[in-house]
Amino acid sequence: MPLIEIQDVTKVYRMGDNVLNALDGVSLSIEEGELVAIMGASGSGKSTLMNLIGCLDRPTSGKYLLAGKDVGKMGVNEQAEARNRLIGFVFQNFNLLARTSAQENVELPLVYQGIGGRDRKRRAISALTRVGLGERLDHTPAQLSGGQQQRVAIARAIVGEPKLILADEPTGALDSKTTVEVMRLLQDLGKTGITVVIVTHEPEVGAYANRLIVVRDGKIIEDKHQEPVAA
């Protein structure tokens, strides 16, 4: 069973008289352990697709199964639970809580899982160690470089042991050297069996993926497997 199964999904936005087909009959299936890059220009529908995969949105029509469950039939709370347990998010601008230590930032998904303080702390430290920040637990985002902040964000994404990491332009705010570091981390995660989906408009970033999906005008125009560039 594929982790992500999208069948003929459309997403329509209505703004007054204007009708925008952000997604126009998309079908897609992603297996566990794949490292997929979704590429497209702005306005192509890739953000809509990402929101859909991330259970932040619901399709207008069609079906989306995440780990076998129909996301379209989930309520607000079930979607939140799915995001909490199955998905880890990595954002372009990191989106860490300001004036909050790295460790507390990483603990946050576990707080919403209802995991107790001691367990939370242990797992947060282990996740931060895994991304190479075991020495900076008490640093707040302001005390960390961009690359380090993104690694904290990745630690936050993996701490809940999700099946899917969803990264939205994860290197958009990073220089080329730290971009390589972050991509290496994501590639390593892929090797441990976690599915990674990266949304980007940069071909250099897409080159790191095993599979490349190109979106334009709400449709998938290209979907190919490739030999990834080693980071």
Residues of this chain that bind other proteins (CB under 8 A): 51, 54, 56-57, 76-77, 80-81, 83-85, 88-89, 91, 95, 97, 99, 108-109, 111-114, 117, 156, 160
For other proteins, which is the closer residue by CB, 126 or 210? 126
Q: In angstroms, what is the minimal distance from the CB of 43 to other proteins? A: 14
Q: In angstroms, what is the minimal distance from the CB of 69 to other proteins? A: 15
Q: In angstroms, what is the minimal distance from the CB of 177 to other proteins? A: 26
For other proteins, which is the closer residue by CB, 128 or 180? 128
Nearest-5° Cα angle at 170, 169 to 171: 95
For other proteins, which is the closer residue by CB, 48 or 179? 48
Q: In angstroms, what is the minimal distance from the CB of 16 to other proteins? A: 18
For other proteins, which is the closer residue by CB, 106 or 212? 106
Query: CA 89 → CA 63, 157, 205, distances in Å?
Result: 22, 5, 17
Q: In angstroms, what is the minimal distance from the CB of 88 to other proteins? A: 8
Query: What are the helix (H) ranges across the chain?
Result: 46-53, 76-86, 102-113, 117-130, 146-158, 176-191, 203-206
DSSP 166-186: EEESTTTTS-HHHHHHHHHHH
Structure tokens at 199: 């949304």
Amino acid at 46: K
For other proteins, which is the closer residue by CB, 117 or 203? 117
Amino acid at 136: R
**For the CA atoms of the chain, what is the radius of gyration?**
17
